[in-house]
Every structure is written in C-alpha cells, then in structure tokens.
Amino acid sequence: MNPLFININSKNQEKLLYTFEAHTFTFPKNSSLLSMFQNDNIIGFVVEGYLQIIRTDYNGNTTIIEELEKNNVFGTNISSLNNAEYEIITKEESKITIIDYNRIIEEENNKLPYFHQFFKNLLDITSEKISEKNERIEILTKKTIRDKLLEYFRIVSEKNGSRIIYLTMNYSELANYLAVDRCAMSREIKNLKEEGFIKSEHKKITLLY
Amino acid sequence: MNPLFININSKNQEKLLYTFEAHTFTFPKNSSLLSMFQNDNIIGFVVEGYLQIIRTDYNGNTTIIEELEKNNVFGTNISSLNNAEYEIITKEESKITIIDYNRIIEEENNKLPYFHQFFKNLLDITSEKISEKNERIEILTKKTIRDKLLEYFRIVSEKNGSRIIYLTMNYSELANYLAVDRCAMSREIKNLKEEGFIKSEHKKITLLY
DNA sequence: ATCTAATTGTTGCAATTGCAACATTACTAT
DNA sequence: ATAGTAATGTTGCAATTGCAACAATTAGAT
C-alpha cells in the first residue's frame, strides 16, 4: 500500500496523479536520479525496485542516509535532496513516479475532494520519516559495535514482527549504515554467533536471545 | 519568527489559535511535560524558554534527541512523543503553546483562508526537522571524536554564519549529543586547542582553521 | 562453464576511546 | 558569604575499534 494514497480510492488516485501531471520513469541499476530534477522541487515514490539516498562529504566518504523500497516516498525537501551532498541511486532497476511539489501545494487544490486527505498523508509520511531518523540515531548513539548491531536487529525485528531478519543491505552497506568498520563488524558478528546470541546464514539472521 | 505562522498576519494568527483552542502553559525548570498530554495528539511551540527532547532506553541510558528553543515547534508525531521512551523536559522555566492536532486536520478547516498556508508551514517545519536529523546523522557517522566535534562546529558555524560559536548545551550534554564519553571529549577539545584548531573560553568557541 | 569482479572473512597491530577515580572550578540557594 | 551541588578538567589503563593486507567465497557476465 502506498502511504500517499491511504483513504483515497484508486479512481481518485489516478485522477490525482493526472491532475498533478505525475510522470513515471524507469532507471537502470546503479544510476543516479539527481540530474533528472536537479533544480526542481519534487515528491516521488517507488513503483518498483530498490534505491538508496547517499551522502558524500567533502572528504569523499559516503554514508547511506535512507533506503527506498517499493511504495516508499521521497522528495526534495523531505529527503534533503536540496543539499548538494545528497543523491539518489538505484541499487537495482527501478521505476519511480515523480510529482512537481509546486503543483501539490497550490491553494486551489483545496477544491479537490480527496486533496485534504492527500496532504494529510504527506504530513504523516514526513512524520514517519522523522521516527525512522530517530531510530537511526538510537542505533548510532550506542557505544559499541555489538550494541549497534543488537539495536539494529531489535528495530528490524520489531518492525517485521519476527525474530528472523532478512537484511536488505549487504554487509558492507550495513557497516556503513552503522558507521563502523566493516572488518570490525564482521569480527563482532562472529563473536555474537560464537556466544550464541544469533545464528546467521548469508543475509538471514536469527535472533536467539 | 514562529515558522508556523509564516505568511500569516498577526490578526489571523490569533484567530487561528482561537479557532484551534490553543492553550498556553508555563512549566518550571527541570520538569517533564509529558504527563500533560500523554494520550493526546498535539502540536506545540515554545513561546519562551529552553527544552530538550530526551530518550531513555531499556538500560536507563538517556540521549538528547532534540533541543527546543524559542519558536521551535514540536509535536506528538513530529517529535516521536508517541514513543514511550521519549519525553520533553524543561531546562529552564518555559512557556509553551499547545494545539490539539485533531483540530488542525479537520477537513472543514479548508474554509479558513489562512489554513492552507498554515498546513504548508507545518509540512515545511517537518521537512526541516528531517534535515536537522540528517545533520545529526552526519555527525554521528564520523569515526573519531575529533571529526564529530569538527562536524558539529561546522554545522553550527554555517547555521549562524560565524566562526564564533556559543554552545547551547553544556559540555556533558554535548558529549551526550555526540554520543561520546565526556572525559574523552574533554581531552580531545584540549588537543584541538593545543594544536591551534580552536580557541575556547567557557561556552564560546572560535574556529581558527 | 569459466573468468572476473565484488563481497565477505580473518587477523595482527596501533590508535582511539571508554571507564574510573579524583581534582578543580563554577553555579545556586540561603 | 558560604555551604553544597553541579559541571568541568585530568589522566592511567584496559577494552574496543579502525586500518591494512590478504584469503576465501559468492555473484555476475559472456
């Protein structure tokens, strides 16, 4: 379910996307979307695929800021894409729909019966993003690699309602996400396994505590 | 300037606060606001004072999540206050205004001429919070205490347009915010001073690079 | 099927950090 | 002014981590 369209029936969804002149694009794997709407102010969502928002700082270090899976929403403002250090890249072939933000905030939209709901949804999505950022901060404020891993596992496990976790990122990316050295993380995962806290095979991790 | 009321004249501001039945409260220093609106969904802003949103995890460790100064906006959803681990505390006597969020999102508000602007402002504020969270993440992903400090100084310096920084937090709180040991941070600040990167007297820090 | 590139695993070692314990200074209230 | 409390500074030491260099495994392309 696309959170932009909660409580909006599919006929009105189409109408809304038509009114806002939404456009859908497909990007090949490992491409940057930024050039597409560099100076525009947009809201977009993932129709199909997997993308990441990454930041590259002045030293050339990159950090994963956000993962974008099917139905996830992103935007110039709500994803800090107005910051030149941020960009969106596709990790696999991806299809996205883009809406001009300026069309969304036009006052005359108030006449559309479903617009209020749409705008409310947008605010809910933005609030939800703040929650996710706070969760990331909860992870990053942990002092040890072990505690960061366990906090990450806890959050993912709670979100999916299961003690079995399938990693969406690969291990290099996870280390980046947790802001730790990949090798040190690998060592710590081995320790967690040896001490019986987790079981892991490839990207499947089972929490045993 | 209160960002909730950008492009809304003061007469309409009052009208709006009246319509939404906003209430203003004063809290003494070092008090928790949470009990006031535990199960409500609210939006609030700081009229006067200084507050912090802090998180206490299952181990009893507390983390500073957000600082709230005059005119800053907070809310159940946009500040993750629906999470039981989060609370707002006053660091000095503070006056805040609270609005019931359910009154804000009523559809009939669309009839109010200034409402569209208000809702847009709310979305802008929420987006801005995401940017701030991303900045915090940029700091926390740095590997060393030195890099965290310099990144923090850079962000504050850019925000204020000055190489001279006045810390809003005390040093214990700053260490908490950067998620490092206070003593180790103190040591690193001494190093930065000795190596001529910064000058510091009490809460005034001058960047020399 | 095979070659190549990408990802993951391993480990010694030096650097950084957290922790603890204590000294010093600044703030607050009476 | 002074006592009491909170904040800050200092430092030795052990634990954790990052780094580097390399091995092993897996994934992807032709």
Which whole-number Å values give the CA distances from A199 to A136, A191, A204, B62, in the listed order? Answer: 23, 11, 8, 30
Asked whether residue B179's C-beta has any atom of DNA/RNA strand C within 7 A, the reply is yes
Contact assessment for residue A139 and residue A148, using Cβ atoms and an 8 Å cutoff: yes
Residue A13: its pLDDT value, please?
A: 93
Asked whether residue A170's C-beta has any atom of DNA/RNA strand C within 7 A, the reply is yes
Chain A to chain B, count of Cβ pairs less than 8 Å apart?
A: 92
User: Is the pLDDT reported for residue B39 higher than 90?
Assistant: no
Q: Which letter, b or e, does each residue of B90-110 get, where b requires 16 or more Cβ atoms within 10 Å of its Cβ?
A: bbeebebbbbbbeebbeeebb
Residue B40: its pLDDT value, please?
A: 87
Can you tell me the distance from the alpha carbon of A93 to that of A48, in angstroms, rounded to the nearest whole number? Answer: 8
Amino acid, single-letter form, for residue B99: I
- Between the CA of A188 and the C1' of C4, what is the distance in angstroms? 30
CA B112 to the chain's CA centroid = 29
User: Is the pLDDT reported for residue B148 higher than 80?
Assistant: yes
Residue B37: its pLDDT value, please?
A: 75
In chain D, which nucleotides are within 7 Å of a protein Cβ? 7-12, 16-21, 26-27
Confidence band for A14, pLDDT divided at 50, 70 and 90:
very high
Residue A168: its pLDDT value, please?
A: 93
**If you measure CA to CA, which chain A residue comes closest to B140?**
A140
Lowest-confidence pick of A34-38, A157-161, B65-69: A34-38
Q: Is B79 on the interface with A (CB under 8 A)?
A: yes
Tokens of A48: 């199909």
How far is the alpha carbon of B190 from chain A, nearest alpha carbon, in Å?
22
Can you tell me the distance from the alpha carbon of B35 to that of B25, in angstroms, rounded to the nearest whole number? Answer: 13
Residue A201: its pLDDT value, please?
A: 87
Can you tell me the distance from the alpha carbon of A204 to that of A189, in angstroms, rounded to the nearest whole number? Answer: 13
Which of helix, strand or coil describes residue B34? helix
Confidence band for B34, pLDDT divided at 50, 70 and 90:
confident
- Give the model confidence (pLDDT) of B184-209 as tens digits: 999 999 999 999 999 998 899 999 98
* CA-closest candidate to residue A34, choices A86, A94, A93: A86
Residue B113: its pLDDT value, please?
A: 83
- Give the model confidence (pLDDT) of A104-133 as tens digits: 988 888 888 888 999 999 999 999 999 999
- Between the CA of B64 and the C1' of C8, what is the distance in angstroms? 36
Domains for chain B: give ranges and CATH numbers. 3-130 (2.60.120.10), 142-207 (1.10.10.10)
A56-66: average pLDDT:
91
Residue A202: its pLDDT value, please?
A: 87
Residue B82: its pLDDT value, please?
A: 92
- Give the model confidence (pLDDT) of B76-112 as tens digits: 999 999 999 999 999 999 999 999 999 998 888 888 8
B149-170: average pLDDT:
95
Which whole-number Å values give the CA distances from A73 to A67, A111, A128, B88, B184, in the listed order? Answer: 10, 24, 11, 29, 40
Are residues B140 and A138, on separate chains, in Cβ contact within 8 Å? Answer: no
The CB-based long-range contact list for A102-108 (8 Å cut-off, 24+ gap) reads A102/A41, A103/A19, A103/A20, A103/A21, A104/A20, A104/A43, A105/B120, A107/B116
Q: Is B116 on the interface with A (CB under 8 A)?
A: yes
B33-45: average pLDDT:
85
Q: Return the bridge partners of B89, or none.
A: B32, B52
Can you tell me the distance from the alpha carbon of B93 to that of B29, in angstroms, rounded to the nearest whole number? Answer: 4
Residue A141 has its nearest CB partner, among B80, B107, B140, at B140
Amino acid, single-letter form, for residue A190: K
Confidence band for B59, pLDDT divided at 50, 70 and 90:
confident
Q: Which residues contact B166 (CB under 8 A, 6 or more apart)?
A: B203, B204, B205
Lowest-confidence pick of A64-73, B52-61, B63-72, B153-162: B52-61
How far is the alpha carbon of A178 from chain B, nearest alpha carbon, in Å?
8
Can you tell me the distance from the alpha carbon of B161 to that of B179, in angstroms, rounded to the nearest whole number? Answer: 25
Can you tell me the distance from the alpha carbon of A184 to that of B143, in angstroms, rounded to the nearest whole number? Answer: 13
- Between the CA of A189 and the C1' of D1, what is the distance in angstroms? 60
B1-9: average pLDDT:
94
Can you tell me the distance from the alpha carbon of B89 to that of A67, in angstroms, rounded to the nearest whole number? Answer: 32
Q: Is A122 on the interface with B (CB under 8 A)?
A: yes
Contact assessment for residue B22 and residue B97, using Cβ atoms and an 8 Å cutoff: yes
